[in-house]
Amino acid sequence: MDAAKQTLVDVFAKRARNYDITSNFMYAAGMRIARYRRMSVDFLDLRPGDTVVDAGCGTGLNFPLILDRIGPTGRIIGVDFSGEMLAQAERRVAREGWTNVELIQADLETFEFPPCDGIIAFLSITLLPRYDETIARGYAALRPGRRWVVHDYKLPGWWPERMLHLLEPLIKPFGGSMDMAARRPWESIRRYGVDAAVIDRYFGFAVFAYGSAR
Ligand SMILES: C[S@@+](CC[C@H](N)C(=O)[O-])C[C@H]1O[C@@H](n2cnc3c(N)ncnc32)[C@H](O)[C@@H]1O
C-alpha cells in the first residue's frame, strides 16, 4: 500500500468510532448532509429486490435509506478498505437486525463489482486517485439502464487558484488532500454512462452526478 493510501486508512481508523457524530459537523458550515444523502439515494432510482453496492460505505449511514427502497428482498453490498469503519457498519447491521447487508473489506481501486442494479459512492470516490477506472469497472457490472451515483465535495470553478492552500487545513482531518482538487469523477460518470446529469450545490462546493449503464 502506498503512503497516501496508508494515510487515508489511518485517518479513517481514527475517525471510525465517532464518525456518525463528526460527519454532522458539516452542518455547522451550512451543508445539509442528510438531505444530500437522501437526494443521492433517490438518484439511484431503486426498486424492490435490487442489489446495490455502497462503494466506500463507511459506517453504513446510507443503508437505512437504501433498504427503505429495495425492501427485504433486495441486497446491499457495502465495500470499504477500512476495517474500523466496517466494524461500525457491522454493529449497525447487527443492531438493526438486517439480514440482507453484506460487508466486504476491499480497495475500490481494484474491487471487482458484482452484477448489480445500483452503485453509490457518497463522499468517497474523490478519495481514490484511480477513481476513473473504478467508475468504468462499476458501469461494466451494472445491469443496463441502472445507475451509478456519486456525491462529493469539489472545488468550484470560481475559486481562485492562489487561494487553494486555504482549503488544506479544512480537508486534511477528513482524509482530504490537495490532489483531490484535480479529480473530476462527474466527468467519468458522463464519459462511461448514458443519460448522465451533474448537479452542483452549495455554491459549487458539492456535486451530484449520476449516469446509467449502457
Ligand atoms: C468520508 S467517508 C464516507 C463514508 C460513507 N459513504 C458515508 O456516507 O458516510 C469515506 C469512506 O471511503 C473509504 N475509502 C476511501 N478510499 C477507499 C478505497 N480506495 N477503497 C475502499 N474504501 C475507501 C474510507 O475508508 C471511508 O470509510
- Tell me which residue has its CA closest to atom 4 in ligand 1: 58
Domain annotation for the chain: domains and CATH numbers: 3-212 (3.40.50.150)
Per-residue pLDDT of 89-101, as tens digits, reads 999 999 999 999 9
Note the Cα 159 to chain centre separation in Å. 24
Cα(110) to ligand 1 centroid in Å equals 14
Q: What is the pLDDT of residue 173?
A: 67
Best probe residue, ligand 1, of 38, 40, 80, 137 (max atoms within 8 Å of C-beta): 80
Summarised one tens digit per residue, pLDDT across range 11-49 is 999 999 999 998 887 766 777 899 999 999 999 999 999
Band of residue 155 on the pLDDT scale cut at 50, 70, 90: confident
Residue-wise pLDDT for 161-198, tens only, equals 777 777 777 777 667 777 888 899 999 999 999 999 99
CA of 58 to the centre of ligand 1 (A): 5
Q: Which atom of ligand 1 is least distant from the CA of 16? A: 27
**What is the pLDDT at residue 172?**
72
pLDDT confidence of residue 191 = 98
Least confident of 53-62, 100-109, 180-189: 180-189
Query: Which contacts (CB < 8 Å, 24+ apart) does range 93-98 have?
Result: 93/60, 93/63, 96/63, 96/64, 98/63, 98/67
E-strand ranges in 21-124 read 51-55, 75-80, 101-105, 116-122
